[in-house]
Amino acid sequence: MEPYTDEMHEIFREQFRRFCIKEIAPLVDEAERTQTFPRHLFPLMGRMGYLCVRYPEELGGAGVDKITEVILREELSRVCQGIASSWSGHSHLATYPIYRLGTEEQIQKYLVPAIKGDKIGSFALTEPDAGSDTKSLRAVAIKQDNGYLLRGAKTFITNAPIADFFVVAAYIDKSLGYHGIGLFLVDAKTPGLTVHKMDKEGIRSSDTGEVSFDDCLVGTDALLGGKEGNFNLLMETLSEGRVGVAANMVGVAQAAYEAALRYAKERHQFGQPIGKFQAISHLLANMVTQIRAARLMVFAAARLIDQGKPCILEASTCKLFASEVAVQAARDAIQIHGGYGIMSEFPVFRYLRDALVYTIGEGTSEIQRNIIAKQIGL
């Protein structure tokens, strides 16, 4: 770990881990059962400096490097990936485009209160017929004398039921291809905007919804940065986000490993702890090896981001590897727990449900392999 982290990183990890244990862990069971994000966490984390940590101090952020952010993500997901998902949807997806391209007025209206946790953001990109193929969006923004008329529907949108504002992707001019996609900042109470909460099996403590725009009129000042062609910013947002999601998956895998190791030491069969049996000990050895590899891949990609270097290949490889490591670690943890692995009082089945979300979400494993293949010249 020495090439990537220093003493300050490790101090931050310990401080944030204590925060998660004290403030977040007691909320997980109810949040998962009710499928409701504990909304008070946003202003609390904002006051503590744990929300939108990458943005500059002059905007209210912590101004930390990407490596610190991925450490935070790992520790948060180690406690609850559902809560981490809402944090990520707000702290990166819904705010990064504003930080990168927003006007001063947009930054003050949306980004600054988002950093404080006073407003909750949501990133509305995915549609019923446009998931992996972002260019096939059907949502449109029709130019009017006084703004734009939004029409379309979005689905699987993190934070939608609790959001105060949305960053919405829509075609302004389809004749320009993907260059005709714009991003819009839309207040949740705008007439014509409706949200329906979705019922999920994974990341249950993250509010997720369908969003409809039925002739939803927004002003010209809603266009992000006053610029109509924002596809490249969309891709940039998703690429950096994949490094963050990979860190989240390292956290889930770490939680699964710790639960399995603890149970393997406590559970006795045939006169000894089950961890003494080679079949079990090898599962745990594989877990710790793969988790360490995934963590190093995440740190390597985060370092490139901190250095301002391209990381398309690194982002996709670490997202692909870490998400699949998390799925395997959770599956093995369930197997080690035996019948208890599918009981609700043990968390390991939740880890599997949550990890499976991220072999699909934020770019499926298949899409990551396509990106990787392209990056290596195939």
**Would you please indicate which residues are annotated as catalytic (active-site) residues?**
362
CA dist 2 and 366 (Å) reads 33
CA dist 281 and 289 (Å) reads 12
With vertex at residue 113, the alpha carbon angle to CA 235 and CA 28, rounded to the nearest 5 degrees, is 80
Ordered DSSP codes for 266-299: H-EETTEEGGGSHHHHHHHHHHHHHHHHHHHHHH
For residue 104, give the amino acid letter.
E
- Strands 140-144 and 193-197 come out as unpaired
Report helix angle 312-337 to 365-375, nearest 10. Answer: 140
For residue 32, give the amino acid letter.
E
Output b/e per residue, 93-132; b: 16+ Cβ within 10 A. Answer: bbbbbbbebbbeebbebbbbbbbbbebbbbbbbbbeebbe
- Strands 193-197 and 208-218 come out as antiparallel
Closest-CA residue to 64 (of 72, 51, 54, 74): 54
For residue 10, give the amino acid letter.
E
